Structure 1
Amino acid sequence: MIQTDKLYEIFCQHPEIVTDSRQILPGCLFFALKGARFDGNQYALEALESGAAYAVIDDARLPNDPRLLLVEDVLGAMQALAREHRRRMGIPVIAITGTNGKTTTKELAAAVLSTTYRLLYTQGNLNNHIGVPLTLLRLRQEHQLALVEMGASKPGDIAELCAIAEPNYGIITNIGQAHLEGFGSLEGVLRTKGELYDWLRNHEGKAIRNADDPLLRDIADGIPSVLYGQGSEALIRGELLSQEAGKLFFELQWSAEVIGIEGQRQATQLVGAYNMGNVLAAVALGLFLDVPSEEIVRSIAAYSPSNSRSQLMHTPLDNLVIADAYNANPSSMHHALENFFAIESPRPRLLILGDMNELGTQAHEAHQILYEEIQRLAQEGDQLWLCGPIWAGMGLTERTFASAVELEHYLSKGNVPHGHLILVKGSNGIRLNNILPKL
């Protein structure tokens, strides 16, 4: 079997990594990963025929071919290779995790840091045990920093990713109720996200910490930290000034003694006061890494969200749509509802909410609590449409759809709203993003 040091020599000659045999690049290194419904070993020979230089496999029954590199476990070999590459590159690594906002924070931080550094950062949502090593294997000599997003769905996930990425700096955006099917409780979420702090504490790392989250304060002992937030404790402070219903932007006032800009009032293109912590995290990280304050302000103002993450859409049907259909859990739903009902607008309101997935045995109770919150916040004339098998099984009187396909069909029958303020939010698996073009 081939060992990591020999595999690394081959990787240096063939640094393009591919894990999908349908996307083979000439001279690439194909890793034959396995999943619940596929075995990449079955496509190793096909990958070689398509132009891969080598294929990393863990099935010894394949033919004896010098281009087939046998390892004990393909995923483990890829993770070990990524760790070795990260060590040899020797550049600082920043890890970002948290229940809500980690992808938005990563994108904001990337916008800030890219003004000053040659930055490698996580593309899309490649934040798991496969995505993190794939990101690290994209490191090249020209890079000066790496920004790595880390997701988790069960205890031990963040510790595993830290052991691969070996971060020097870390951000936990917040702690909330999500993936309870894997974590079991909020305490389980806290312990798992806190594995990033454990790594930093044990390896002389530093944290960029949300001072407004008391749960994070309680687990941050012994870690040098730069604090951001709205309270006086924070070094990097922000103050919510306004939200304009027409644009749904909010403004921030930076701490003048830190940034050196007296009374800076900064509009962003983000929707919702709940994004303020994400902005402050990116600002704090930029200041800590010596990004000029004017570059920070400029890049924050220029950042525009996409991919249904707090994305504002003004549609041809004169609807103002807040598209936040990539993720949903009790914490993020609560903040989204708070923001939505706080917006002053003459438009009639419509909430299109999908199921919150991966809540395990707490799913029904969490949806019932959310429904009761909506009833308290909603006013006469507000409409609520619910989508997904959990909502459909609750026997509620509101208009309910078992799937996004069913909702699309309803919209196609001439039931599209016009001139509404609309919130579209649900777990990605409900596929509410598919209905956005119809609004």
Structure 2
Amino acid sequence: MKIDEIYNNFKTCTIASTDTRKLQQNCMYFALKGDNFDGNQFVQKAFDGGAKYCIIDNIEYKINDNCILVKDVLSTLQELATFHRKKIGIAIISLTGSNGKTTTKELINTVLKTTYKVKATVGNLNNHIGVPLTLLSFTEDLDFGIVEMGANHLNEIEFLCNIALPDYGLITNFGKAHLEGFGSVEGVVKAKSELYNYIISNKKIAFINTDDNKQIKQIGAYSKIIKFGNGEKNDCIVTFKEAKPYVTLVYNDLQIKSQLIGDYNYGNIAVAVAIGKHFKVSSENIKKGIENYQPDNNRSEIINKGTTQIILDAYNANPTSMLAALKNFKQFDAKNKYLFLGDMFELGTEAAKEHQSIVDFITLNFDENIYIIGNNFYDTNTKSSLHKFRRFEDLKELLKSLQLNNTSVLIKGSRGMALERILDTI
């Protein structure tokens, strides 16, 4: 069956789905394969759960006429998403970067939603499966669709751009993330800049943070850019004021106090302001959108438990974001500080060096109450006052004995470390 015929069937469905555990009535189910599963085997379950059509690539599982047989389910999902994107014709804003993608996406969403009808990537559906599902969730009555793009290897962002066909693009930053896949920081810059390459090749518009020299270098002499930052020569001047602990900035003589901590979040907020300005969102609505956004899902959340203030940043971690969080925490005006840091994943051959570098920074800048967890941190060279544990379970008993009163706590680690479990104990 040709893609336009599949699309005609899709238009009679409510949504695209790949998970029989989370089906909506009258959805179109895509029977994807993985290393340990074959979605074709769940066709009957999909129909029982409310699917109207099932896209399959194994004729053995064609149980009725609403099973649509294709050569490859994944490529069909991706092709259908691009076909749909062209049909609905809404403006697509795409973003990538090493750190802050999801926060930035949500900030842009909250600003634009004050004035327009907008939909954005849900959660972190930002890969070769998530981006097509995001696009297929967009409808022609929207003014904007915001598409987050993630990658851990070269050519992934290029591939996602050719699916989403963005009209506008931005990169939050270039940092030490997914070094195992990219090989080096240079590899990170090259991979993330595939978004700029697409924008330039297709004469689209990029938003450029002029406070970030790497972004200026990567965009080169391309002219269709919207510049934002602290300087007077920007198209959108967004002045950083302070982060004590919440980031405060000034735009159009308005002071905007966000609910985000750390000066590293300035750029994420500033691009949301710049996008709002470019699309003629009023200054008051920009301020309203930024100030109303509250982080969740373990991303730079501030949690108060009695007299203890906890910064929970346990959604993800890499050397760049870890160092930024530590520098920010160092500036906190608190007498008693506790650090709970978990391993940073996907660093490949750089893992030992990068974990040691973080420990060296801690040693120079923090005196006591330092707890590091995970195999990589455990194998570093440390001073005697620093407590280290291979497993979270080894830390758990000690946590019960800690008396955290009038204390500030930083919890940060990669998602796999699940350090939010500390909250249940302290």
The letter for the 1-side match of 2:282 is P
Deviation at 1:28, TM superposition (A): 1.5
For 1:307 and 1:137, locate their aligned partners in 2 and report how far apart those are by CA, in whole Å: 24
The letter for the 2-side match of 1:290 is K
Deviation at 1:417, TM superposition (A): 2.6
Give the TM-score normalised by the residue count of structure 2.
0.95
Matched with 1:326 is 315
Question: Which one of the candidate residues 276, 281, 286 is aligned to 1:286?
Answer: 276
Moved more, 221-230 or 401-410: 401-410
Question: Which one of the candidate residues 248, 251, 254 is aligned to 2:248?
Answer: 251
Give the 5 Å matches for 1:126-205.
126-205=125-204
Write out per-residue CA displacement over residues 163-205 of structure 1, whole angstroms, 9 at most, x where no aligned residue: 1110000110111111000000111111111111111111111
Structure 2 CA distance for partners of 1:134 and 1:63, relative to 1, 3 Å: closer
Give the 5 Å matches for 1:363-382.
363-378=351-366, 380=367, 382=368
Give the 5 Å matches for 1:236-275.
236-244=236-244, 248-254=245-251, 259=252, 262=253, 264-275=254-265
Higher strand share: 2
For 1:64 and 1:42, locate their aligned partners in 2 and report how far apart those are by CA, in whole Å: 11
Q: Is the 1:197–1:223 contact (alpha carbons within 8 Å) kept by the matching residues of 2?
A: no
Matched with 2:407 is 420
Question: Which one of the candidate residues 347, 354, 357 is aligned to 2:345?
Answer: 357
Structure 2 CA distance for partners of 1:63 and 1:90, relative to 1, 3 Å: closer
SS in 1 for 2:175: coil
Task: Give 5+ residue unaligned stretches, structure 1.
Answer: none
Q: Is the 1:176–1:186 contact (alpha carbons within 8 Å) kept by the matching residues of 2?
A: yes
Q: Is the 2:342–2:412 contact (alpha carbons within 8 Å) kept by the matching residues of 1?
A: yes
Write out per-residue CA displacement over residues 132-152 of structure 1, whole angstroms, 9 at most, x where no aligned residue: 111111111321110111111
Question: Which one of the candidate residues 406, 410, 417 is aligned to 1:430?
Answer: 417
For 1:217 and 1:240, locate their aligned partners in 2 and report how far apart those are by CA, in whole Å: 19
The letter for the 1-side match of 2:55 is V
SS in 2 for 1:140: coil
Matched with 1:217 is 216
For 2:194 and 2:421, locate their aligned partners in 1 and report how far apart those are by CA, in whole Å: 35
SS in 2 for 1:219: helix
SS in 2 for 1:241: strand
Q: Do structure 1's residue 401 and structure 2's residue 389 form an aligned pair?
A: yes
Alignment root-mean-square deviation, CA:
1.6
Deviation at 1:64, TM superposition (A): 5.1
For 2:388 and 2:59, locate their aligned partners in 1 and report how far apart those are by CA, in whole Å: 52
Structure 2 CA distance for partners of 1:350 and 1:140, relative to 1, 3 Å: same
Structure 2 CA distance for partners of 1:134 and 1:223, relative to 1, 3 Å: farther
SS in 1 for 2:325: helix
Give the 5 Å matches for 1:333-348.
333-346=322-335, 348=336
Give the TM-score normalised by the residue count of structure 1.
0.93
Q: Is the 1:243–1:343 contact (alpha carbons within 8 Å) kept by the matching residues of 2?
A: no
Matched with 2:14 is 15
Q: Is the 2:334–2:407 contact (alpha carbons within 8 Å) kept by the matching residues of 1?
A: no
Task: Give 5+ residue unaligned stretches, structure 2.
Answer: none
Matched with 2:369 is 383
Structure 2 CA distance for partners of 1:425 and 1:223, relative to 1, 3 Å: farther
The letter for the 1-side match of 2:234 is A
